[in-house]
Chain A
Amino acid sequence: MTTIPTETRQPGKASLLYDPKIRGYAYQILLLAVVGFLVWSAASNAIENLRAQKIASGFGFWHNAAGFDVNQKLIPFSASGSTYGQAFYVGLLNTLLVASIGIVLSTFLGFFVGVARLSSNWVLAKLAMIYVEVIRNLPLLLQLFFWYNAVLKPLPDARNSIALPGSIFLNNRGLIMPNPQFGPAFQAVVVAFFLAAFAAIAFYIWSKRQQERTGKQYPNGLITLGLILGLPLIVYFLAGQPLSFDLPQQGRFNLTGGLQIYPEFVALLIGLTTYTAGFIAEVVRAGILAVSKGQTEAANALGLRAGPTLKLVVIPQAMRVIIPPLTSNYLNLTKNSSLAVAIGYPDLVQVFTGTVLNQTGQAVEVVAITMAVYLTISLVTSLFMNIYNKRMALVER
């Protein structure tokens, strides 16, 4: 009987060079060193260059007098008495204004076009397709130039304004509309509106519960409409109509009075709305197509008609697909509103990264603040998006 000598083999001790853990540490330390070196050399160069160019650093400029004027402003701002800090807020508010209106309008237009592309109406579907293809395949900047330089600029000058019904005038300085003047009693109307909105929401919740318990349905839409329109109207008349209009007057050379909407704003709004609507239309179309045909057929088999099928079965499921890309389109719209600088709308980039940067020369601070603003908007939105996604995600077993 031969005994085979059992060789006790130790697992070969690999050299440290091949230990994945050690390698991992080494890579990371190397990367940190490279990034650290880049940051350090950039910072030291920046300090050196700024000193050579005699540019101040720090945020002291925030309280310095601005010395320029801005045409469209939502808060008081003047060349003589305002600071760069106030200019920042003027720009930020203008950005938020055009972005929020643009988001609302592009959502409506986008949903309409998206549904139209799926319509059985051949002419409508083709027209919607042409719209989407053209809008999505042209640079936004070209579209903005088109709206501003080719559509709004050639409008007649103030003396030959186009008069529209309702004391609205259109000329190359923009759209001049009656300026609503709110009397002090108008607050009551605002309060009534919010009360009505709350009441409508409460009624909606109550009616939904009622329906789940008893099966009885209530005319939700009509009652909501009645509450939200009716209550403020009643209060408005009870308070003695506390709303008057400052009508624009056609003078010899110019229009006086009224509310002026600047062509830059209109061009940017139209451009952003139509551009983003093209993308939203595709999102909506994809969302609706993502709901499988079996769902519609099952709803039909249960006896639901076309309207309730869409409202109760297709749209709730499509929304789950639509909402995330829709939000990123809203973010894109907000970021794209920075193209305002090309047509001179005083948004954050135009006022702050343009004029303020040129006047102070403090590139690092100004660009950092601007980026921080956009970054905050993006991150907050994606935070809410993640919360929403968690709530809406399919609960799987």
Chain B
Amino acid sequence: MTDATIENAPYAFVRKETLPQESPPLSVAGPLAWIRANLFSGPVNSLMTLVCVYIVVTSVPDLVRFYLIDAVWSGANRDACLADKVGRPVGACWAYIADRFQYFIYGSYPIPQRWRVNIVFAMFALGIVWLLWDRMPLKKVGFFFFFVLLPISAYLLLLGGPAAEGFLRTLLILTFALMAIYLVLSFVPGLARFWIGPAFLAVEEALPPWKRFYRVKRLILLSLVVLGVIAILADSAGLPRVDTGLWGGMVVTFLISAVGIVFSLPLGVMLALGRRSRLPIIQFLSVVFIEFVRGVPLITVLFMANTMLPLFVPQEYSPDRLLRPLVGVALFAAAYMAEVIRGGLQAIPKGQYEGAMSLGLGYWSMMRLIILPQALRIVIPGIVNTFIGLFKDSTLVTIVGIFDFLRTIEATLVDPTWATPTTRATGYAFAAVFYFLCCWGMSRYSIAVEQRLAAGQRR
């Protein structure tokens, strides 16, 4: 009988006694361990951490002191921001921003007329919220408002003058005429058979009169309300012409961006469809336009718009100085937008096209009802990113002599009223905050949309 105890086991490597216990690790959890693992895990890492901390420690307190603690918040002129006049070290001169704030917003737009700009700003804000906030109802009406009514109203309100009033009168008459036509149609729908297919007409005919054609009618009603309000304003307060040379500041920055988006989106859709078209000439022309515009800097496009556009039209129609860069920006943005939208078109599975065709839809119905709604939805982040680029690039109109927001800042910097050593730093900081907030807000929005769209793919 062998006694199979540990002592006489045949295996030499079996340990016969327990090891002494290790002391517990110093820290595997808690802030100290986190700092060691993340900030000082090795010599290179430690050096990096020290350099970064050094940068932060040396720059942040100085910035805070300059822009907040030592800053001057109120004052009437440069004396408030001069160190020897105030008797203490002076940081940022926010008094200068406060004094010139109106100029930064409106440029040289005449003060008694600035309420017109405010109305356009309010409409712009309403349109943006309507389109971008996904809880807002009646998105299609919103599209009509933003892409049709807003540009017209902005033109009427901002420019004013006899030409605009004549245009307003024509528009009002047209809208009234349309409303009259649709009122008649509501009771006699048969008249619409010239432009509406019998199937659709039958649907309308089944409804009670006041509900017939309600999609069209609500657009007409909205136009009537908006145009009517403008007409009443024009009648009571008058809309004297404000020359575009007086426009400036954020008004122009927003105007350029808004014109860019309003015109580049439809143009971009057409170009993207053209590029994917099977008709060789249409495809060729689209490709040439897109690649040409994307291959040259915006500045050259602006120079071209500024110097060549007046040459290309008869002398008497020579475009306004503000209109030229607007055309340039719109065409430039359209080419970039086209590429973004093409990406969306390509991402739509072929089955969607085939499904639409098998239902008997023609090209335009297929695009309008099936393809584009899906394609545009998936490229919303791309569109927003293009728009951010457009917003930043709107500063380039400075170079062709338009007073956008950045130019108004530059203009006030040479004004002796506020010539102090810290004015420039203050002005640029203000501009930086403005652009950063706008662009950063838009990029947050695009990230949020991306996440909402990706909800279906999340597991």
Contacts and interface: CB of A to CB of B under 8 A. Distances in A.
Contacts of A338: 297, 299-300
B303 A31 contact: no
B308 A364 contact: yes
Contacts of B116: none
B295 A379 contact: yes
B300 A367 contact: yes
A338 B304 CA distance: 14
Contacts of A49: 310-311, 315
Contact of B279 (A24, A46, A123, A335): A24
B296 A374 contact: yes
A136 B432 CA distance: 11
Contact of B297 (A122, A124, A149, A335): A335
B353 interface: no
A336 B297 contact: yes
Nearest to A28: B281
Contact of A123 (B52, B396, B399): B52
B31 to A, nearest CB: 12
Nearest to A134: B436
B73 interface: no
A377 B296 CA distance: 9
A37 to B, nearest CB: 13
Contacts of A121: 38-39, 41, 45, 48-49, 52
A45 B312 contact: yes
B424 interface: yes
A338 B279 CA distance: 36
Contacts of B297: 335-336, 338, 349, 374
Interface string B11-49: 000000000000000000000000001110100010011
Contact of B303 (A45, A48, A136, A367): A367
A134 B436 CA distance: 7
Contacts of A312: none
A136 B303 CA distance: 25
B435 A139 contact: yes
Interface residues of B, number: 56
B432 A138 contact: yes
- Dominant SS at the A interface? helix
Given A142-B406, A342-B398, A32 B299 contact: no
Interface in A43-84: 45-46, 48-50, 52
B279 A374 contact: no
B98 interface: no
A140 B392 contact: yes
A45 B313 contact: yes
Interface string B273-300: 0000011111001000001101111111
Contacts of B388: 137
A228 interface: no
A364 B311 contact: yes
B93 to A, nearest CB: 14
A150 interface: yes
A353 interface: yes
8 contacts: A28-B280, A28-B281, A45-B313, A52-B315, A121-B38, A124-B49, A142-B406, A371-B296
**When A and B form their complex, which 9 residue pairs have the shortest distance between CB atoms, in order from nearest?**
A378-B295, A363-B307, A42-B312, A335-B297, A137-B439, A139-B392, A28-B281, A338-B297, A375-B295
Given A142-B428, A353-B300, A363-B311, 10 more contacts: A27-B279, A27-B282, A35-B285, A127-B55, A134-B436, A142-B435, A145-B428, A336-B297, A338-B297, A341-B399
